[in-house]
Chains A and B, each alone.
Chain A
Amino acid sequence: METEFLNLIKEAFEIEDRMLDMADRFKEFDEWDSLTQLTLIAELDEKFGVVIKMDDFKNITTLLDLYNEILSRKA
């Protein structure tokens, strides 16, 4: 599940040149912009069936935070 999540992030952000870590602060990635946000939203809906509003992202810093948020919303 965690691997699936990291693959989803790499795909959404089109990251090919590096490995991701759950501690990464993804909003500081160069790739985090209004275009990749659209892909991320589609992926989260398609793969996990969750919708996370941009306001809620304010409290989400690392990939682990995002992962936990997804899990809590799925539950």
Chain B
Amino acid sequence: MAFLSFNGVGIRGLAAAVPAHKIKNRSYTEYFSAEEVSEIVDKTGIEERRFAEAGVCSSDLCQAAAEKLISDLEIDKSEIDLLVFVSQTPDYRMPATSVLLQDRLGLSKQTMAFDLSLGCSAFVYSLSVVFSLVQQGTIRKALLLDGETRSRAYYPKDRRVAFLFGDGGVAALIEKNEKYGQSFFSLNSDGSRGDLIKIKSGGYRFPSSIESIQERVVDDHGNISTDEHGAMNGADVFNFVIEEIPNDINSILDKAGITKEEPDFFVFHQANAFMNGYLAKKMKLPVEKVPSCIREFGNTSSVSIPLTMVSQLKGKMEGSKKVLLCGFGVGMSWASAVMDFKDCWISELVEV
């Protein structure tokens, strides 16, 4: 099992940017009736989402969040030695978006920059990578940028996915400092369930073609999509969550040597209100310790954990806080962490 622990590395601050353009799900009725949409919204709890305007990429949202964070924390850009960009909606297939962001953010050419491609588990996964590099000792400041424009990855005529996903970008500043205590990570993968959430075409296994962009009926209920858009088996994703996530949380609590009562907050990937509600109930977690932003931003994939922190925990992170993070999804890939926060700065949410 992949289990990592760190000492003296922490997140100094977090910022998030979302598109100003709001989609109100109950009036998003171009392809489905208001009654049908309401049934979906009642179940998923997703009232609103943010959609990036045409031409705006995940990296633009991340850039806005990064500029805000750098300015709020009065960071000297020349001290940023590491930039990691996490996304499955990058600007290009090549070059890596992180490298372009090095220039767009005005960082030094000595910045180490690379991309990581994972979905809903990615924030926790990439934190473990950044923490490893920062703990090494010579990186002064690290910028973790995590952005998604998942609204574009799913087809609006497939009701199983059309009302779930939204866009956003976050920035986290990570530093070595002895004030931070221990943090613990559990990282997992199960490629046998790779078909549960998938965009089939557009990579090198099934390159984009005339066929891949054609609309077709994809199930018995008459949902329509294309091979260029995401397909999701929501029921089995839920089965996966029930089978794997409570165990992983118990295991990371055990590794951290703490009980379920000790974390100040449990921040989960925001999948949908039904799934998250069931998970919290199954784990017997008190509602006030489980912040959620699913109602106003929907499922933003890897962005959802830090976006929940920025939108819900501002003013609640002063002093020493122990926070459990847990991300799970496409892959299937899942990761949990128990993190020690000390006066974590949270910027005002930026609208782009």
| Interface residues of A, Cβ cutoff 8 Å to B | 33-35, 37-39, 41-42, 45-46, 51-55
Query: Which of A34, A51, A55 gathers the greatest number of chain B CB atoms within 10 Å?
Result: A34
Stretch binding the partner chain, chosen from B113-121, B178-186, B234-242: B234-242
B243 A35 Cβ-Cβ under 8 A: no
B282 A38 Cβ-Cβ under 8 A: no
Q: A37 to chain B: which residues have CB within 8 Å?
A: 234-235
**Majority secondary structure of chain B interface residues (helix, strand, loop or mixed):** helix
A54 B39 Cβ-Cβ under 8 A: no
Q: B242 to chain A: which residues have CB within 8 Å?
A: 41-42, 45, 51
B233 to chain A, nearest CB (A): 6
In the assembled complex, B40 has its CB within 8 A of some CB on chain A: yes
Q: A46-B282, A54-B233 are in contact. Are A38 and B39 (CB under 8 A)?
A: no
A sample of 27 inter-chain contacts (CB < 8 A) reads A34-B159, A34-B160, A34-B221, A34-B234, A34-B235, A37-B234, A37-B235, A38-B43, A38-B235, A38-B238, A38-B275, A41-B235, A41-B238, A41-B239, A42-B238, A42-B242, A42-B274, A42-B278, A45-B282, A46-B282, A51-B239, A51-B242, A51-B243, A52-B239, A53-B236, A54-B233, A55-B236
| Interface residues of B, Cβ cutoff 8 Å to A | 39-40, 43, 159-160, 221, 233-236, 238-239, 242-243, 274-275, 278, 282
Q: B235 to chain A: which residues have CB within 8 Å?
A: 34, 37-38, 41, 54
**Majority secondary structure of chain A interface residues (helix, strand, loop or mixed):** helix
In the bound complex, CA of A53 to CA of B236 (Å) = 6
A38 B243 Cβ-Cβ under 8 A: no
Q: A42 to chain B: which residues have CB within 8 Å?
A: 238, 242, 274, 278
Q: How many pairs, one residue from A and one from B, have CB atoms within 8 Å of each other in the complex?
A: 40
Query: Which of A37, A41, A52, A55 gathers the greatest number of chain B CB atoms within 10 Å?
Result: A41
A33 B243 Cβ-Cβ under 8 A: no
Chain B residue with Cβ nearest A41: B238
In the bound complex, CA of A49 to CA of B132 (Å) = 38
Q: A41 to chain B: which residues have CB within 8 Å?
A: 235, 238-239, 242
Q: A33 to chain B: which residues have CB within 8 Å?
A: 221
Identify which of B43, B236, B239, B282 contacts A35 (C-beta below 8 A): B43
Q: B243 to chain A: which residues have CB within 8 Å?
A: 51
Q: B275 to chain A: which residues have CB within 8 Å?
A: 38
Q: B238 to chain A: which residues have CB within 8 Å?
A: 38, 41-42
Q: Assuming A39-B274, A45-B242, A45-B282, what are 4 further A-B pairs, CB within 8 angstroms?
A: A35-B39, A38-B275, A42-B242, A51-B239
Q: A51 to chain B: which residues have CB within 8 Å?
A: 239, 242-243
Q: A51-B242, A53-B239 are in contact. Are A35 and B278 (CB under 8 A)?
A: no
Closest 9 CB pairs of A and B: A37-B235, A42-B278, A35-B43, A34-B160, A54-B235, A51-B239, A54-B236, A41-B238, A45-B242
Q: A39 to chain B: which residues have CB within 8 Å?
A: 274
In the bound complex, CA of A41 to CA of B159 (Å) = 19
Q: B236 to chain A: which residues have CB within 8 Å?
A: 53-55
